[in-house]
């Protein structure tokens, strides 16, 4: 059967049955109806260290996201119980944005995509509504459009036209959140689409087997470039893996609200 083609020339093993597709759709729909992940800002103590991170996550409902922004650092984190790393799908969220929100509308989308066949590909709609909406959302850390890209960047890859992405500090597949200034920043698009995406997928796959703590740490280094570091812990806060990227291609604006500098000032006074 693996050598059989459907009417659109697709390999049989690339296809999904309507019943399987509907089951998948209903699973994501159930999560969507429960609403996105709860998010809490931490203002009273620093969470850019393991003890602070654990203390904050212990004080909020399990699977809630936390974040903190100061004039020196930005942190976003979440405790992810096993088998909950893939609660949301951007492609299916895009279907929701096109009004496909029940069995009847999904059946119509299936027929539009595959005809009246039992097997086909998962329905999709044009565009990327979540991404288009996300780029318009507020963020504390944004590219400074007054400056061109650094032609001497050490980033090992590039697009024909380089750009920054308004991207998630915690994968939206975990949270279902597209719009939150505590969970979004600008970062180099090539890094976001390639090595960072690969690392995030590896971490998401870890959640199939175990609980993890996902922590993203952002700062501007002494080199004046924007740094992004993932620190991934097990349920006992032992470090499993980590990865850091430096965006030296773009210049950034680091905004902060009145009072958000307090924690960094306290840290300096105690040193």
CA gap 217, 69 in Å, rounded: 10
Cβ proximity of 205 and 158 under 8 Å? no
Question: What is the secondary structure of 63-83 as a DSSP string?
Answer: T-EEEEE-SS-EEEEEEE-TT
- Pull the structure tokens for residue 250: 């773009």
* CB burial of residue 269 (10 Å; 0-12, 13-18, 19+): exposed
**Cβ-contact 46, 74 below 8 angstroms:** no
Residue ranges per domain, the chain?
Answer: 36-89+128-270
Read off the tokens for 111: 């027929």
- Classified as helix, coil or strand, 204 is helix
> Are the C-beta atoms of residues 64 and 37 closer than 8 Å to each other?
yes
pLDDT of 4: 47
pLDDT at position 1, please? 39
Report how far Cα 123 is from the mean position of its chain's Cα atoms: 23
> What would the DSSP string read from start to end of 209-243?
TS-EEEEEEEEE-TTSSEEEEEEEE-TT--EEEEE
H helices within the chain, ranges in order? 18-34, 50-58, 90-97, 103-114, 129-134, 172-175, 189-193, 195-206, 262-270
Asked if residue 37 lies in contact with residue 177, where contact means CB atoms within 8 angstroms, the answer is yes
Reference 32, options 107, 104, 97, 112; nearest CA is: 97
Which stretches of the chain score pLDDT less than 50? 1-4, 7, 129
Closest CA to 85 of 15, 11, 175, 181: 175
In angstroms, how far apart are the furthest CA atoms of the chain?
70
């Amino acid at each position: 059967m693996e050598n059989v083609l459907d009417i659109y020339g697709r390999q049989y093993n690339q296809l999904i049955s309507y019943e399987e597709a509907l089951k998948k759709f209903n699973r994501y729909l159930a999560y969507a109806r429960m609403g996105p992940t709860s998010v809490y800002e931490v203002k009273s103590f620093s969470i850019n260290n393991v003890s602070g991170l654990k203390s904050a996550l212990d004080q909020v409902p399990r699977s809630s996201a936390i974040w903190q922004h100061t004039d020196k650092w930005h942190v976003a984190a979440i405790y992810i119980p096993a088998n909950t790393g893939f609660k949301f799908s951007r492609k299916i969220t895009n279907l929701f944005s096109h009004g496909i929100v029940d069995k009847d509308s999904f059946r119509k989308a299936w027929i539009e995509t595959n005809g009246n066949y039992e097997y086909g590909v998962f329905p999709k709609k044009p565009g990327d509504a979540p991404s288009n909406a996300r780029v318009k959302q507020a963020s504390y850390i944004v590219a400074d459009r007054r400056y061109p890209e650094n032609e001497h960047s050490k980033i090992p890859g590039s697009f024909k036209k380089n750009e920054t992405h308004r991207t998630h500090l915690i994968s939206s597949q975990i949270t279902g959140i597209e719009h939150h200034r505590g969970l979004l920043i600008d970062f180099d698009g090539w890094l976001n689409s390639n090595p960072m995406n690969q690392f995030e997928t590896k971490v998401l796959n870890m959640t199939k087997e175990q609980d993890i703590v996902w922590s993203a740490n952002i700062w501007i280094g002494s080199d004046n470039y924007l740094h992004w570091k993932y620190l991934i812990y097990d349920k006992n806060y032992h470090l499993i893996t980590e990865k850091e990227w430096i965006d030296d291609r773009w210049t950034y604006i680091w905004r902060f609200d009145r009072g958000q500098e307090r924690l960094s000032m306290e840290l300096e006074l105690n040193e």
